[in-house]
Structure 1
Amino acid sequence: MRKLLLTVGTVLLMAFTVNAQNQRLCASDEVFERQNANPKTLELRKNVEEHTRNFLAKGGKANQRTGILNIPVIVHVIYNNSQQNISDAQIQSQIDVLTEDFRKMNADVSLTPSEFAPLASDIEIEFSLAQITRKSSSKTSWGTNDAMKSSAQGGVDVVSPDEYLNIWVCNIGGGILGYAQFPGGPSSTDGVVISPQYFGSIDRQGAGENFYLSSPFDLGRTATHEVGHYLNLRHIWGDGNCNADDFVTDTPTAGGANYGCPSYPSKSCTNNGGYTSDMFMNYMDYVDDACMYMFSAGQKARMDAIFEPGGSRETLGTSTGGCTLAAPSGLSSSNIGDNSFTLSWSSVSGATGYDVSVDGTVTSTSGTSTTITGLTPGTTYTTKVRSKCASGSGAYSANLMVTTTGSNCSTGPVTLSLTLDNYPSETSWTLSKDGSTVASGSGYSTSGQTVTEVFDFGSGSYSFTINDSYGDGICCSYGNGSYSLTDANSTVIVSGGNFSSSENTSYCVEGGGPAPDTQAPTAPGSLSASNETQTSVDLSWSASSDNVGVTGYDVFVDGSLDGSTTGTSYSVTGLSSATTYSLSVKAKDAAGNMSASSTVSATTLSSGGGGSNVLLSSYFESGWDGWSDGGSDVARYSGTRSYEGSYSIRLRDNSGTASAMTSGAMNVSAYDQISVEFYFYAYSMENGEDFWVRYYNGSSWSTVATYARGTNFDNNTFYVATVTIDASNYAFPSNAQIRFQCDASGNNDQIYIDAVTVTGISGGAKSAGNSITALDMERRVVEADNGIDIDGFNMYPNPTVDRISLMVDVDEDAEVHMVIHDVQGRVILKKAWNGLEGVTKLDVDVSSLEKGLYFVRVSDGNGLNDIQKLIKR
């Protein structure tokens, strides 16, 4: 709930913070660049990179460390409130996660796609907790200027950074999860900083504990990511676009950060080393904690370099033989009584014994089962087990929650009654059984509403957590919100409402019905549209999977249910011609669970015996707009050599595809012609030097147009050109592509390509052929103190999304007419107004027009009769 009226500025700041907390935000690169402003630091960093390159050039083998490196960790907790003063158990859970992730002992590494699985590597680094310091502070946030690392500024000074990894746990603010100092920085600030709600793992929260963690960054992977930076790893996308590098050879080039939980494959750069996907599951990307689970072999080699003689972290940690055993699998319970239960698990090859942890108390055994005694009736215990070898211990298994029998357990089913306060959207809750979420609630909108949920998931141990995003509970100053859990005997398990950010209650259930199926199927894969006609589109996809079984698929058109099928294909009919639709498919199971949507866009063909569809409109203002970067002689350019807006694509040299920009695949099988219109500007091209437009017919490339300096164009002039490709001369496949390629001879010979429109044409709307026209250098309306000087009429913005402005030069007072035609000559829109002598202006709303190419005619009866093309995005 809100405590005060917020100014606009505060609202905007909070909006930014909420957004940042929904997506991973790391400030390591920002701190890296800031520190590099110091010439001494910059020189040290150059030395670190030179040492790393030399090490890698020798195959990463010279003087390579052997055994397992153990890094001792000192954690400095600086807190403003009791939540931020996180428990020793939460801190230890983070140290455990670091060891498992860097040793490849994390269970979820098995989710690595087969393409990358051979690259997933054991970094052979373990971490041990050496010391915890705690300090109370009046500061509510610390920012990224390293003040928390200085006692003079209210923080805690670094301790022996050559021997210890120092981690400061404090509220950074601004939605930043954490940041690290790369090797080569000042020793007085060396280490890692992480906000407390992202330090530790909820998976290791034991019974009676209440870790302060925030989903979806609550599995300890923020520390894994930041320690990666601390050990000299860059972000997986190199903090740039498809031309940037993270200095690791076996990580695919990526165009930027990935967020959330992407579906594999997800590829952002065409030329990424031959991989089918970004390696978004890598710890150095920005995905949620649950979706990152591997380092690569190349990243290991890069980290190894800094521990070698002469390396920047040569003195950090000590090497031992280590234990490379995996975590035991198959942990289960049996013979559960009031005061005891038996644990058993699968054997691990090479293990000399096992450590068994029950609520943090560890005992050892040489076998694969043990009976735990002396327990309390009706109590939930957190258990886990790890394998041991002669030189150390392996990783712990995932937690197993076991509840003893006895009078302390409730009788199911259990009923939740939740009355919301005046700010219902801030309230959410989750219910977990044996460590896995089985129910949740959020997104409430009605204040004072009472919500009732019945939980009938069978016997077992449960954990109920209620959250308030503003941190003031649901009672009592801003509405009388409350909640309660009641069992089948009307016994109240818990009730309340007066808490801060969250409140957690653990309980056990005996009796009750079988657990219902609550698991949704996976989303349909590889959804594609094909065989577009004027009124129909065919859809196909790969089958979904489900824990019980998929019973069918629902198909949606622009969000509305169109029909269902049990197969993996569907024909959508009854559509309108020349219209773009959003088509979605969801899988469903017998229990009514629905998967997430898979969505694709498709455009139907035009009617009237012929027409056109815009297949690709690229203006490069926000990115590459569906085109791929050929390489070193191609770049996205911002400046006055761009025709439309600020950006265009610059081509230079004659280095083959490295001097080319290439479109994505387009389905042109339904068309008679393809029209490629583009704007270009030449700079410093020598006489006879040229560039080409090329076409891919599904199997090979052909040059369909050549433009030479001195014959077709001159330098320092804008041109618009149209290339027509006819189905009578070329094959029209479902995967056609267009390529612009420069054939100049030197780096100073450049072509700038802008505003590319690829149109599929059928029937009577065929194009007349190729054309090229020089354009007025003053392509935009220029407003100056002495008025506006134009000839005929100008139209802007073009291309447009929702409106255009017409500036018309009227020789004398007259009625001015504006007519918009489509490519078939049909009148789409008319306007008329009284124009006074001089320049007159008219604003026209074109938001109702479909995307595509139009012609705008302006006339005034006194000699003005001009036509210009309009592109509607």
Structure 2
Amino acid sequence: MNKKITFLIAFALFSIVAIAQQPNKIKNLKFEESSNYRLSDAKQVIKNQLKLSSDNDLTKIQSETDKLGITHEKYQQYIKGVKVEFATYTVHAKNGKIKTMTGELFSAGKLDLSPKLSNVAAFNKALNYIGAQKYLWESPKEAKIMDNYKKPSGELLIFPGEIIQQNKARLVYKFDMYATKPISRDYIYVDAHSGEVVFKNPIIKHLDKFEGNNLKKASKKTVSIEDVFATGTAATRYSGSQAIETTSSGGNYVLRGSSRGNGIETYNMEMRINYNSAIDFTDNDNNWTAAEHNNADKDNAALDAHWGAEKTYDYFMQTFNRNSYDNNGAAIKSYVHFDLVEYGYSNQDNAFWNGSVMTYGDGTSFDPLTSIDIAAHEIGHAVCENTANLVYSYQSGAMNEGFSDIWAASVEYYADPTKSTWVLGEEIGGPIRSLSNPKAHGQPDTYLGTNWYTGSGDSGGVHYNSGVLNHWFYILTVGKNGTNDNSDSYSVVGIGIDKAAAIAYRLESVYLSSNSQYSNARTSGIQAAEDLYGINSAEVIATTNAFYAVGIGSEFVQTCALNAPTSLAASSISDNSLTANWTAVSGAVAYNITIGGTTTTVSGTSYTSSGLLPGTTYSVSVVANCSTGGSGTSSSISVTTTGTAPLSYCDSASTNINDEYIGRVQLGTINNASSGQFYSDFTSISTDLTKGDAYTITVTPTWTGTVYNEGYSVWIDYNQDGDFGDSGEQVWSQSATSTTPVSGTFTVSSSAINGTTRMRVSMKYNGVPTSCETFNYGEVEDYTVNLGDGTPTPDTTPPVITLNGASTIILTVGDTYTELGATATDNVDGNLTSSIVTSGTVNTNSEGTYTVTYSVSDAAGNLASANRTIVVNEASSGSTTVLHEGFFESGWDGWSDGGSDVARYSGSRSYEGSYSIQLRDNSGTASAMTSQSFNLTQYDTVEVQFYFYAYSMENGEDFWLRYYNGSTWTTVAAYASGTSFNNNTFYTATVTLDATNYNFASNAQFRFQCDASNNSDYIYIDQVTIKGIIGSGFAPNSISPLGSGNSGFASFSVEPDNFEGDFRLYPNPTKNILNIQVAGEELIAYRIVNLLGQTVKQGQLTEKEINISNLQLGMYIIEVNDGDEIMTKRFIKE
């Protein structure tokens, strides 16, 4: 079947033949339901349908899937490696099938792409054109506030002539020129051949027509959650009493809120022009009264700017789930009392967005320009810059302004429906514009009608001709009957501001591109309404007729009014097919059944669709067809096929292969040589890999000229979960090098899942790439690998038996023997404890040596056994005296602090209670704790028993127990990491000294001393007991692990290695467990607060991890208090 495309042509300005002659001019393509274009082929579909030459290339710069399940992929055009300004094309697809494509691409013709001017010469041309006295880069502190603005170096681009109503493209340098006296910020495009300034695209967007040429870093301080979530009451200048979010600072409250994105901040310029000199507005009790702030300086205007920014953020977040203007939580900063006259304006009557912050004048003929509709209008420009990015010139610039007016009305209605929604600036002494009656303020209400501006001033009339889009939104919202300037009679039924705003937002954020015109707005506005509310819906009708009312396009024609089929249901659902059934509609001659974007016409009331993807949700809709043509109202349901959905991997690509790319990849049977692409899908090429085997991968770079340093990385999705982020899946990396080829060896994970999976090979200029990165120079290639077990290796390894408790137990006749048991593990069969067979008996009524044997076999027949010796001694007449017990709960318990590397510690590494003694490193006695003196002269034996915990001790590092016999120190026991003990586990040890081998002096002492390397290795000593024994019956030296002890820390490291700093939490975002790192070992209190300021969890950090599985999804703030400092951080529960 031939694929068909419907061309969407507004106003019928072009014929189909004309479009065929210049296919790259097509701005809107809508595919018929019977077409079969796949999203995975999007780049090639664009090239084919727009008939792009081989000099053209497309780079994917954005991909997102909206809540309707429609994926939008945006591509940037390049010609011979040079970026084409304003040239993007967006593919819109559902369930992997392309539905529509929108945007605009351009031709360079025979343009010479070798510049005759250097970028320095072009920059001087731009300087002369602006002719300012001062520029922002001359004031580094000011520039840092403006998103760290830098002196422009110039970007070489192709500039389409269509932007300035010309036919020929230009090779240009683009400069972001920010002048501060007089004020202007524009993108200046300088012809790279002639030096002519081709175009000026204003970045500063003013409230009305204008003719004319981080705060200081705060010192470290304690900020509690109450400070972060302070809620004040503000007597605003224009909107009465309102709740605002503030922050406590230096004993006062300031206009800075933290719960919205990265903050809402409002500052006082004090009628100055240097942003770096701005100060805070302050209030001593967070009750911002009119008596305090409705002063001669009109400081209460700042309360409106702050509240307006908050409500604008809330509107976009709650209505469209948009996190600030950039959808990435950008801080919204407002500067009030700005001296516009000093900055180059003729008066104080303006406000503007400068590409980074909001700036408000105090007004000359107006009151301060901080009302909520003006705040929303200016922030609306920031939204446009981060979505459609409409060029601020002629029709596209008029729509840029129009959308800002739309958001001004929408936010004002959201914040206070009692206000005058349909006029702008009424509270500052206006209004200055009217959405309900644009002509009242000199704007057109009809495209090309009365008041339509045709000159070049005001950037082509952006503040005039915006009235057309304004009025369309008003009519769409409230409805209207009338006749426009074209003598067209219209009747529109309004759909309400919420639905109208949803259509406008989708139009701006999804479908429009930089050079879109009013005709494109109509086409895409109708498409947005169809997406949201369905074909032929009341909302689509109203959207179409509202455009007709303002002179754009024809009115809606309903050709078929059949009812929607009823009882639509699916049956026989499998991995790859389903059957849809419905009830017949009277008068229908056929039905269009659409499943996953594919439409089929059938005469009956059922249809079976095959070739579907497993585990995928499909939209199923059916509509009845009239005999006269057209279709009625549709019915729809969602159906999910059985089975597991196919994996979808993240995108990674380079944006430039002019200098280097991957020339060859070799691994196993893969030996693939290729030419340069930003990304290459070679998943049709595969090799077999055996788990547990080692392999060498070789990557050969290709340089087109100069040899550069390249970094490399290779990933394999071992667990086949559709990502490369799991432990061990980065199998090889190589830091930047000019060596060629480069090779690395890796061993396939033995825990990998058998079967086919993805391998990604990435090469990046001068750095090691990450798996989902888009970078400037290099290439990314994907391959397939088949993982398997290979030839099984016979299991010849016996199980390992571990005794519970000591291997030798000393008892006295008459004592009771308690069987302690053992555990068994096997490298293949796992836990075999339940299979252990115990043999041997112990008679504690008879002196002697007894043996208890523990035996176990694994499935391969490998046998293991272990013995425990029980010695039953004859009862003696001797006695035992406890000479010392040290628990360290209330102090050092008679032990002395050796110095800088010894400390009394409180925390989870203490065996008994909360406290123990911490030893570290190898600084001699400074790494030691020494006991008091004991008189041991009367004893035959002395026994020292203690408990300890090791942390970060490297293999072979040790600690000692030493004994002082009155004249010299002797090491009586040494314990080494990896031999005697392992990290992160509690142990008990017993050391026995007898009088035949040691001199028991009257001033004997004991000392624990650490002998690790000097890199923060720790031993924690606890519950030390020293006994003097007269007679026999003592136990020999021993050391035994205690499993997890009483603190639960044996199974994992309490803290990640190499932590430096005061406070860290990870992972973030997290689903169930939040790990906390705090410097020091003090007892830490914590509490977690939601964005409403409510405490949802609190307690003590006894285990350095918090289970948050019962919290709702969203953002939280955690506060930790170590007794000296209160620290806060945000985290996300996902």
Q: TM-score, normalised by structure 1?
A: 0.27
Structure number with the higher helix fraction is: 2
Higher-RCO chain (CA-CA 8 Å, sequence separation at least 6): 1
Q: TM-score, normalised by structure 2?
A: 0.22
Larger radius of gyration: 2
